[in-house]
Amino acid sequence: MSANASTVPNNVHPSLNDRDVVFIDGVRTPFGKAGENGIYHGTRADDLAVKAVRGLLERNPEVPAEKIDEISIAATTQTGDQGLTLGRTVGLLSGIPKSVPGFAIDRMCAGAMTAVTATAGGIAFGAYDIVVAGGVEHMGNHPMGAGADPNPRFLSEKIVDPQALNMGNTAENLHDRFPAITKERTDRYAVTSQNKLSKAYENQQIQPDLIPVAAKRPGEGWKVNTADEPPRPGTTMESLSDLRTPFRAHGRVSAGNAAGLNDGATAALLSSGQAARELGLQPKMRMVSFAFAGVEPDVMGYGPVPATEKALAKAGLSVDDIGLFEINEAFAVQVLSFLDFYGIDQDDDRVNRYGGAIAVGHPLASSGVRLMTQLARQFSEDHSVRYGITTMCIGLGMGGTVIWENPNHADFGSKA
């Protein structure tokens, strides 16, 4: 593509550089509960991803499908209807021209986040101008770890603590490491997450980015799903106090203060600054930096801390510059360990304004783009915020963080 200043549409921010990576739009399916009683029981995983991609392109008709340079779709369990190089198969099933290539990503919970950062690198390098990146996880069809065969050396050579292979155990380990994070605190955080999501639904802040999905459950008729299934509005501290702690007797992690098992898909459209100008696309965010980091697998929930430290250093920013935090709530203790590290109160208004995965669900590899989509909408609502982050812990001891800039801020594009 070639850029010509005289043809730049008025609605595209003039401070964009040609190789800036910008988030144009993001969507997702409503998230469902995994299992026989879930809304997507009987629905294929790849069909969920197709719904998200088709919905994304229908919302952005100014982007010709043949101009897409790459499709990257993530899944944690890449077998069956989540296998066969998802980026390519989803592209073909979505009706995108066969000339558009695609590939699959696996970084467990950070699959969609990695799909975004991997293709963003291609945009920054000049290999791509427009990409579609996202993820899907049908945990009803593919329980986490199903069919996996961990190398026996992990245990025999003590490379990985046995507890690291169960995410709930790693959350209990975080409680051990940080005794100030009590079950009372995590339950209180979980109640707040449910309340925030309910309020966001009341304010129509979630629905605009949901793509309706028609699904037929075995033995039942068709239904168009337009809302998330996992939320438990009206959750109270009392209702959480009696839940069992399945990972440890008298433990602290329960179904109430952790994300559930879920099905769902996400998709995002990213472009170069150059392509945004040529096509008249209005960016919702600009990527500032990203980083991934490793931690001991048996405390995998701590991964967002070193990942955020790396991303902030790469951006030349401090945590005080961040006006919004979208933190994936795999477990409440994981979020609180991050907030405590930075001295941020768990009720701080900058944190997960719409609630998080404890309420809305966490279909593993799809969740990274959900965080981005919610941050983008918050940017559009709050022009006083310049920088925000999306961050998440990752199974087997990793964390990932992406820092974004708000194009609605008065200083957008200027040096920090």
Nearest to 83 by CA among 95, 75, 93: 75
Is the per-residue pLDDT at 12 higher than 80? no
The residues that bridge with 205 in the sheet, in sequence order, are: none
Is the per-residue pLDDT at 387 higher than 60? yes
| DSSP conformational letter for 351 | B
Look at 3-17, 35-49, 394-408 and tell me which has the smallest mean pLDDT.
3-17
- Give dist(CA 319, CA 328) in Å, integer: 17
CB count within 10 Å of CB 73 equals 34
Segment 222-268, tens digit of pLDDT: 999 999 999 999 999 999 999 999 999 999 999 999 999 999 999 99
Model pLDDT, residue 413: 83
Instruction: Give catalytic residues, as residue numbers.
Output: 109, 362, 393
Domain architecture of the chain: domains with CATH: 5-140+260-404 (3.40.47.10)
* Confidence at 11, pLDDT banded by 50, 70, 90: low
| DSSP conformational letter for 29 | P
Token pair of 1, please? 């593509």
**Is the dihedral angle over the CA atoms 38, 44, 46, 52 positive or is it negative?**
negative
Is the per-residue pLDDT at 372 higher than 90? yes
